[in-house]
Amino acid sequence: MTGNITILICSVIFTGILTMYLAKKWPNLDVIDVFIIFVIFHFGLNPFVRGLYFGQDIVFDFRHRSPISLALVFAHIFIILLIIRMASLYFPLQIYKNLKIKYLIQQWALINKYFLFICYISLIIFPLISYYNYGIRTYILPEDYEKIGANLPYWFNSVRTIYNYIAFGIFLGLFGNLLNTQKRQRFFWAILTIIFALVVSIYGRRFFLNMIAIGTIFYFVYKDEYIFRLRYLTVGLTLIIAFFLVSNIYQSYRNLLFTIGEVNPKKIDNLFAAALNFDATLHNLQIRAGTWEFNYLVLDRQLDKSGMTTNGRLTWEGMKSAVPRILWPGKHFRLIDDFLADFYQVRKRDVNIAKNLFGMTQLDFGFYSIIIVPFIIFAISLAMGGLIGLTIPSPTFLTMITGNIIYYLINLEENGNEIFFMIRNVFILLILFGLYRLARKIYSHFRFDNSNPNL
């Protein structure tokens, strides 16, 4: 029981300190504060729930694990967050203003409506094409992908890698309009947003939860509402219930969603009963390996055997995987789970844990991660602030670029090597932005020439 007690104590202290910081700063939040909130979810609340379960999850049984290794997980994250927050105080004033959530919501509301609706419809149609043409509804299990992956079209695989990034950008555009309109228009945007969130979340409960969380944060920030009040306990409970109802349905029919091929309608018997099947979600939360457990795996092994790092090889594999095959046809890279299973000499299921930036950097470079991770987040935030200033003339590009970056920051369960995919996406958007600005200048030039008969 020593390990569970350590987890409970550390998670309470970790969550308490960061919550007091947010309570003092609320509602004047910026992008880094949003990142800190999601760190609290994954490294504060999630470990607390896991600590209450005195048993074996998919990977670990923490009852008799080393308290030192467990405490080090929380200390490691806390020190990194402290450095990030202190470093951000030295942002140029304009960058600091650009990263404010209220300012960003106002910019997202200006997204081009034609672009918004075209992407909206396309993102809803794509899962239908995925199912009816290829029998794929959602996430493809690795063993299934090994069977059919080579036969899937290149464009289809490419869209799947960017689907969530595009969907999140469109969600920000929808939510920005929802908050910046009045009465009937607000009802219209609310309906569109709810339908969109439910449809695209078929790609995973995690994406749905991210949208609920980010939407709640942005709403209260934009409305200047102080969320740390007793009356908002009802709002919080309502959102938790909504999450559980959707999660219950998802867990009840999870095997159907993951299975390749046609769905047998007879197996979808009673959605109402599935929504009320809370045991499915509670059991999943108890045995599911949390994001923080990957950090424990890394730090515990490093404490047991000094110098147990991959010396940048994971970063190199991540960089290779992010390069489009059309630009590098002969590239070869290893899947992270295969790499780690060989590195630790364990089964792949034993390393099938969320690969977050903190843990991956620690594994790759050891305790230099205390410097490297703050540098990465600082550089991303600084670049984001500069790109916001650059793309102000085109709110559509601003929305999609900031959506890509924010999604990367909050998607802690997968943001280990996803940084290279995020950079690739932003780079492509910048190229398109440059071409768009060039086309606008050429059009304006010819229009001016044609309107001036003296030239």
Residue-number span of the structural domain to which 100 is assigned: 2-225+289-445
What single letter denotes the amino acid at residue 116? L
pLDDT (0 to 100) of residue 143? 59
pLDDT (0 to 100) of residue 315? 85
Q: Is residue 326 a contact partner of residue 320, using CB atoms and an 8 Å limit? A: no
Q: What is the pLDDT along the chain (455 residues), one digit of tens a residue?
A: 788 888 888 889 988 888 888 888 888 899 999 999 899 888 888 888 777 776 666 667 777 788 888 899 999 999 999 999 999 888 999 999 999 999 999 999 999 999 999 999 998 888 888 777 777 766 665 555 666 666 778 788 778 888 889 999 999 999 999 998 887 888 899 999 988 888 877 666 678 788 888 988 898 888 887 776 666 666 667 767 776 777 677 666 665 555 555 555 555 666 666 676 666 666 666 666 678 888 888 898 888 887 788 888 888 888 887 887 777 777 777 777 778 888 887 777 667 777 899 989 999 998 899 999 999 999 999 999 999 999 998 999 999 999 999 999 998 887 877 888 899 999 999 999 999 888 888 877 776 656 555 44
Give the predicted TM-score (pTM) of the model.
0.84
On whether residue 89 sits in a domain, the answer given is: yes
User: Going along 237-317, which residue ranges are E strands?
Assistant: none
pLDDT (0 to 100) of residue 142? 57
Tokens of 201: 């979340």
Q: Is residue 317 a contact partner of residue 324, using CB atoms and an 8 Å limit? A: no
On whether residue 248 sits in a domain, the answer given is: no
Q: Is residue 259 a contact partner of residue 225, using CB atoms and an 8 Å limit? A: no
CA distances from 98 to 110, 164, 367, 389 (A): 15, 24, 32, 7
On whether residue 230 sits in a domain, the answer given is: no
pLDDT (0 to 100) of residue 89? 87
On whether residue 65 sits in a domain, the answer given is: yes
The Cβ of residue 7 has, within 10 Å, a number of other Cβ atoms equal to 27
pLDDT (0 to 100) of residue 410? 92
On whether residue 32 sits in a domain, the answer given is: yes
pLDDT (0 to 100) of residue 257? 56
On whether residue 437 sits in a domain, the answer given is: yes
Tokens of 5: 């007690």
Nearest to 126 by CA among 97, 151, 159: 159
Kindly give, in sequence order, each residue whose CB lies less than 8 Å from that of residue 285, ignoring residues fewer than 6 positions away: 49
pLDDT (0 to 100) of residue 260? 53
Q: How far apart are alpha carbons 432 and 242 in whole angstroms?
A: 38
Instruction: Give the angle subtended at the CA of 403 by the CAs of 402 and 406, to the nearest 5°.
Output: 80
Q: Is residue 91 a contact partner of residue 386, using CB atoms and an 8 Å limit? A: no
pLDDT (0 to 100) of residue 385? 94
Burial class (CB in 10 A: 0-12, 13-18, 19+), 224: exposed
On whether residue 271 sits in a domain, the answer given is: no
pLDDT (0 to 100) of residue 328? 76
Q: How far apart are alpha carbons 211 and 194 in whole angstroms?
A: 10
pLDDT (0 to 100) of residue 107? 94
The Cβ of residue 151 has, within 10 Å, a number of other Cβ atoms equal to 7
Overall domain count for the chain? 1
pLDDT (0 to 100) of residue 174? 93
Nearest to 361 by CA among 150, 135, 96, 76: 76
On whether residue 192 sits in a domain, the answer given is: yes
pLDDT (0 to 100) of residue 206? 76
Buried b (16+ CB within 10 A) or exposed e, 275-290: bebeebbbeebeebbb
Q: How far apart are alpha carbons 400 and 115 in whole angstroms?
A: 11
